[in-house]
Amino acid sequence: MIKRVRSWLNQEDSQQTHQLSPDNIPHHVAIIMDGNGRWAKRRGMPRIVGHQNGMKAVKRAAIAADDLGIKILTMYAFSTENWTRPKDEVDFLMKLPQEFLAIELEELIEKNVQVRMMGHPEELPSHTVSAMEEAVAKTAGNNGLVLNFALNYGSRKEITESFKALGQEISDGILRPEDITEELIGRRLLTGELPDPDLLIRTSGELRLSNFMLWQLAYSELWFTDAYWPEFTKDHLVEAIAEYQQRTRRYGGLS
Which of 13, 82, 142, 196 is flagged as catalytic? 82
Q: Does 97 bind ligand FPP (CB under 6 A)?
A: yes
**Annotated binding-site residue? 156:** no
How far, in Å, CA of 246 to CA of 223, rounded? 12
Q: How far is the CB of 146 from ligand FPP (least distance, A)?
A: 15
**Annotated binding-site residue? 80:** yes
Q: Does 119 bind ligand FPP (CB under 6 A)?
A: no
Q: Does 65 bind ligand FPP (CB under 6 A)?
A: no
Closer CB to ligand FPP, 33 or 240, in the complex: 33
Out of 30, 55, 70, 240, name the contact with ligand FPP by CB under 6 A. 55
Active site residue 196: no
Q: How far is the CB of 63 from ligand FPP (least distance, A)?
A: 13
Residues linked to residue 147 through DSSP beta bridges, in sequence order:
73, 115
Closer CB to ligand FPP, 100 or 244, in the complex: 100
How far, in Å, CA of 217 to CA of 214, rounded? 6
98-117: contacts with ligand FPP (CB under 6 A)? 100
**Annotated binding-site residue? 116:** no
Diameter of the chain measured on Cα atoms: 61
Q: How far is the CB of 31 from ligand FPP (least distance, A)?
A: 9
**Annotated binding-site residue? 54:** no
Out of 229, 232, 234, 244, name the contact with ligand FPP by CB under 6 A. 229
User: What is the torsion angle, in degrees rounded to the nearest 10, for the CA atoms of residue 104, residue 109, residue 115 and residue 121?
Assistant: 70
**Annotated binding-site residue? 42:** no
Out of 25, 77, 118, 194, name the contact with ligand FPP by CB under 6 A. 77
Closest CA to 111 of 90, 139, 73, 137: 139
Alpha helices in the chain (DSSP H): 36-42, 47-68, 87-110, 126-139, 155-171, 182-188, 234-246
**Annotated binding-site residue? 35:** yes
Stretch that binds ligand FPP, among 1-9, 51-59, 64-72, 236-244 (CB under 6 A): 51-59
228's CB contacts (< 8 A; 6+ apart) are 34, 35, 36, 38, 39, 42, 50, 203, 204
Active site residue 91: no
Sheet containing 72-79, strands listed edge to edge, beginning at the edge strand earlier in sequence:
114-118, 146-153, 72-79, 28-32, 199-202, 221-224
Out of 21, 82, 210, 211, name the contact with ligand FPP by CB under 6 A. 82
Residues linked to residue 149 through DSSP beta bridges, in sequence order:
75, 117
How far, in Å, CA of 228 to CA of 233, rounded? 10
Q: Are 220 and 196 in contact (CB under 8 A)?
A: yes
Catalytic residues: 34, 82
Extract the annotated binding site for Mg(2+).
34, 221
Binding site for ligand FPP (CB under 6 A): 33-38, 51, 54-55, 58, 77, 82, 93, 96-97, 100, 149, 204, 229
